[in-house]
């Protein structure tokens, strides 16, 4: 039998508009919570950026860069780094200098003991150490300074920078003034530089000296002939592109 009893419904406890109002308030609350989250995220990003900038400023001096020889320096955007571009060399300068050196050496005594070489950076005049120095000594032999004097036209007529390099064999030194071949080879290079500056009044800003001990041999140090070949002084006439290195601190 069907239930014909009337169902009773309770009256709403609040007006219907309160339901819509509650939904609107809830949505607004969610909206403002999202805004607050975004605001905190931006603040964290700014703090991180500030920390990164502070770290860069703190460590920049420790990781400062020195411009490489034979390179152009290009700053990237904002000055945060450098790009080193190989410098193009004027290769025609090398044969010109080499030809002039050989021509000037035709008038030099003992020219048969001198060797002229060249590469893309320099023209090299190689002098056996025995021509200039006694064994184990860095003092120029009396009378043999004339070899350096005879090279003066080469040095003075070509205005390029000059690098004097000393080399030795692998036999340990016996002179207490030179604890190792490093000191001996460097002292011999310096003696040649000082002779050109002090006695021949050449511009000191053009000269530099280096010593490589026995670590750049021409041949193996297995025989006396090989060791004699490795004992040498080299006068390097640099190309005009080869400037003295200048340290650069990128800030």
Cα-flanking dihedrals φ and ψ of residue 237, to 5°? -95, 110
Determine the pLDDT at residue 30: 86
Determine the pLDDT at residue 53: 66
The neighbour count for residue 228, using CB atoms within 10 Å, is 15
Q: Is 0.85 surpassed by the pTM of this model?
A: no
Q: What SS3 class is residue 205?
A: helix
Cβ(232)–Cβ(218) below 8 Å: yes
Radius of gyration for the chain, computed over Cα atoms and rounded to the nearest angstrom: 39
Cβ(133)–Cβ(188) below 8 Å: yes
Task: Quote the DSSP letter at residue 186.
Answer: H
Q: Locate 219 and state its tokens.
A: 């041949």
Determine the pLDDT at residue 56: 58
Domain residue ranges of the chain, discontinuous segments joined by +: 16-63, 93-238
Task: Quote the DSSP letter at residue 245.
Answer: P
Separation between Cα atoms, residue 209 and residue 184, nearest integer Å = 12
What are 70-104's pLDDT values in tens digits?
Answer: 544 444 445 445 444 545 555 678 898 888 888 88
Q: How many residues does the chain have?
A: 251
Cβ(89)–Cβ(241) below 8 Å: yes
- As a CATH number, domain 93-238 is 3.30.1330.60
Determine the pLDDT at residue 36: 80
One digit per residue, the tens of pLDDT, for the chain of length 251 reads: 455 555 555 566 667 777 777 778 888 888 888 888 777 666 555 665 665 666 556 555 544 445 544 544 444 445 445 444 545 555 678 898 888 888 888 877 778 889 999 988 899 999 999 999 999 999 999 888 888 988 898 899 889 999 999 999 999 999 999 999 999 999 999 999 999 999 999 999 999 999 999 999 999 999 999 999 999 999 999 987 555 554 545 44
Determine the pLDDT at residue 50: 65
149 φ/ψ sector (left φ>0, alpha ψ -120 to 50, else beta): alpha
CA 178 to chain centre: 29
């Amino acid at each position: 039998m069907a239930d014909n009893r009337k169902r009773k419904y309770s009256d709403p406890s609040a007006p219907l508009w309160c339901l819509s109002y509650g939904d609107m308030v809830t949505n607004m609350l969610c909206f403002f919570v999202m805004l607050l989250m975004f605001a905190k995220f931006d603040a964290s990003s700014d703090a991180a950026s500030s920390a990164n900038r502070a770290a860069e400023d703190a460590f920049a001096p420790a990781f400062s860069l020195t411009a490489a020889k034979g390179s152009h320096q290009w700053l990237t955007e904002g000055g945060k780094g450098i790009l080193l571009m190989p410098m193009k060399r004027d290769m025609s300068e090398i044969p010109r200098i080499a030809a002039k050196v050989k021509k000037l050496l035709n008038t030099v005594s003992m020219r048969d003991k001198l060797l002229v070489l060249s590469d893309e950076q320099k023209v090299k005049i190689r002098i056996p150490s025995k021509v200039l120095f006694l064994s184990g000594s860095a003092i120029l032999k009396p009378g043999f300074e004339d070899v350096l004097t005879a090279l003066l036209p080469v040095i003075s007529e070509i205005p390029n920078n000059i690098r004097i390099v000393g080399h030795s064999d692998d036999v340990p030194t016996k002179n207490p003034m030179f604890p190792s071949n490093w000191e001996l080879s460097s002292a011999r290079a310096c003696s040649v530089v000082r002779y050109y500056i002090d006695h021949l009044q050449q511009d000191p800003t053009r000269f530099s000296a280096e010593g490589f001990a026995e670590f750049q041999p021409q041949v193996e140090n297995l025989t006396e002939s090989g060791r004699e070949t490795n004992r040498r002084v080299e006068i390097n006439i640099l190309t005009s592109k080869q400037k003295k290195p200048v340290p650069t601190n990128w800030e």
